[in-house]
């Protein structure tokens, strides 16, 4: 059914099915293990599955498990050593939550720790006791996180790779449109240029997140590195477009940039081919005459020469990355 829909709707159907199946599986497993609060397993499964859209699901599952364990240890210790009384409980709660929050910046795995500590300290007066409460909490989170990872691996395992490919093709198309607009010269709409630059930046941010969402099993480390390298190369191409813009957008520059314009058109055509998933040839070495930039002191030609030189290098690198990842 998902394949019959548009790429966007197909992704939404996959995400909905993953979350639904993961939530039910987590609840069933937690209930089978007789864990007292099965809803924590369900919540953890949903949180982990949702990260498959914009981040590394394995890292989030690991951080959630480690944070829960840290919070359980701190909360359990405070619950054991604090004197009886509501005032002492509130003091212990404030101290533990504040301490964990203080150390959490720069440590993503500690973000969930204050929640776990608070639950254990606040619930330690109940019949379960802090030790059992801490153990139950850790088990519930581990069950939910594990179910979430398994759901991502078993349900539509190629979805993240397909989403990455789709976003890479779209980013190439947006880069081609921006570069073509830059070449229109000073007459180009400044507001439209700013909007397209911001849009490309947003696309590349999303592409980086999509790269982290792909789960590579042991033995696929090179592919992981290639995806990260492709994202970095895209950012360099965007910087090259900015440099070229300084040349083409200079007042009266178009009359002096004919040869550089023809060479830049070739770069636009390469990006358009990548956006369609079509194989394309490398640009190769830049013409030495274009690389020198012409007359000394001509800032427009100098910027065009620098930008085009870098574009030849970076776009050829991008084409190679597309080939290595079988995106074309």
Tens digits of residue pLDDT in 269-284: 999 999 998 888 998 8
The answer to whether the beta carbons of residues 207 and 171 sit under 8 Å apart is yes
The answer to whether the beta carbons of residues 49 and 57 sit under 8 Å apart is yes
Tens digits of residue pLDDT in 172-222: 999 999 998 888 866 567 778 888 889 999 999 888 877 776 665 555 455
- Non-local CB neighbours of 215 within 8 Å, separated by 6+ positions: 56, 57, 58, 152, 153, 157, 160
**Predicted local distance difference test score (pLDDT) of residue 237:** 93
CB atoms within 10 A of CB 45: 32
CA of residue 190 relative to chain centroid, distance? 29
Of 183 and 168, the one with more pLDDT = 168
The answer to whether the beta carbons of residues 77 and 234 sit under 8 Å apart is no
145 pLDDT higher than 70: yes
Of 296 and 145, the one with more pLDDT = 145
Tens digits of residue pLDDT in 239-269: 999 988 888 877 777 777 788 888 889 999 9
**Whole-number CA gyration radius for the chain:** 27
DSSP 3-state assignment of 327?
coil
Intra-chain end-to-end CA distance of the chain, in Å? 26
The answer to whether the beta carbons of residues 121 and 92 sit under 8 Å apart is yes
The answer to whether the beta carbons of residues 139 and 35 sit under 8 Å apart is yes
Q: Give the whole-number percent of the chain exceeding pLDDT 90.
A: 17
The answer to whether the beta carbons of residues 76 and 153 sit under 8 Å apart is no
Question: Nearest-5° angle of CA 131, CA 132, CA 137?
Answer: 100
SS (H, E, C) 179-229: HHHHCCHHHCCHHHHHHHHHHHHHHHHHHHHHHHHCCCCCCCHHHHHHHHH
CA of residue 200 relative to chain centroid, distance? 15
**Predicted local distance difference test score (pLDDT) of residue 133:** 74
What residue segments make up the domains of the chain, in order of their start?
Answer: 2-154, 159-324
Residue 90 CA to residue 119 CA, distance in Å, equals 12
SS (H, E, C) 18-52: HHHHHHHHHHHHHHHCCCCCHHHHHHHHHHHHHHH
**Predicted local distance difference test score (pLDDT) of residue 220:** 47
The arithmetic mean of pLDDT across residues 214-233, rounded, is 69
CB atoms within 10 A of CB 314: 21
Is CATH 2.60.120 the right assignment for the domain spanning 159-324? no
**Confidence category of residue 224, pLDDT binned at 50, 70, 90:** low
CB atoms within 10 A of CB 76: 24
24 pLDDT higher than 80: yes
**Predicted local distance difference test score (pLDDT) of residue 295:** 60
Q: How high does pLDDT run on average in the chain?
A: 80
**Predicted local distance difference test score (pLDDT) of residue 318:** 93
Count Cβ neighbours within 10 Å for each residue of 266-305 and write b for 16 or more, e otherwise.
ebbebbbbbbeeeebeebeebeeebeebbeeebebbbbbb
Tokens 């012409």 sit on residue: 294
**Confidence category of residue 54, pLDDT binned at 50, 70, 90:** very low
DSSP string covering 56-108, please?
Answer: -HHHHHHHHHHHHHHHHHHHHHHHHHSPSSHHHHHHHHHHHHHHHHHH-TT-G
């Amino acid at each position: 059914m998902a394949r019959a829909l548009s790429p966007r709707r197909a992704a939404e159907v996959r995400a909905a099915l993953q979350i639904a199946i993961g939530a039910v599986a987590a609840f069933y497993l937690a209930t089978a293990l007789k864990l007292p609060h099965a809803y924590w397993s369900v919540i953890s499964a949903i949180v982990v599955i949702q990260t498959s859209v914009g981040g590394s699901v394995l890292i989030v599952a690991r951080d959630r498990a480690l944070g829960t364990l840290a919070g359980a240890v701190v909360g359990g210790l405070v619950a054991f050593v604090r004197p009886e009384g509501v005032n002492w409980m509130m003091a212990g709660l404030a101290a533990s939550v504040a301490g964990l929050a203080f150390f959490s910046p720069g440590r993503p795995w500690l973000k969930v720790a204050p929640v776990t500590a608070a639950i254990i300290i606040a619930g330690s007066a109940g019949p379960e006791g802090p030790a059992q409460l801490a153990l139950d909490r850790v088990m519930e989170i581990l069950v939910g996180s594990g179910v979430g990872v398994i759901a991502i691996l078993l349900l539509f395992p190629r979805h993240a790779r397909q989403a990455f490919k789709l976003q890479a093709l779209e980013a190439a198309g947006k880069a081609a449109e921006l570069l073509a607009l830059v070449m229109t010269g000073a007459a180009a709409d400044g507001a439209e240029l700013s909007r397209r630059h911001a849009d490309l930046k947003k696309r590349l941010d999303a592409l980086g997140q999509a790269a982290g969402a792909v789960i590579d099993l042991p033995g696929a480390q090179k592919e992981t590195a290639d995806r990260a390298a492709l994202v970095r190369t895209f950012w360099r191409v965007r910087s090259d477009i900015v440099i070229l813009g300084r040349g083409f957008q200079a007042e009266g520059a178009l009359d002096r940039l004919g040869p550089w314009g023809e060479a830049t058109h070739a770069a636009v055509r390469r990006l358009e081919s990548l956006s369609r998933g079509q194989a394309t040839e490398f640009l190769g070495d830049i013409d030495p005459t274009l690389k020198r930039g012409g007359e000394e002191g001509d800032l427009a030609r100098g910027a065009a020469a620098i930008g085009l030189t870098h574009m030849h290098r970076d776009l050829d690198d991008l084409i190679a990355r597309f080939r290595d990842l079988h995106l074309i």
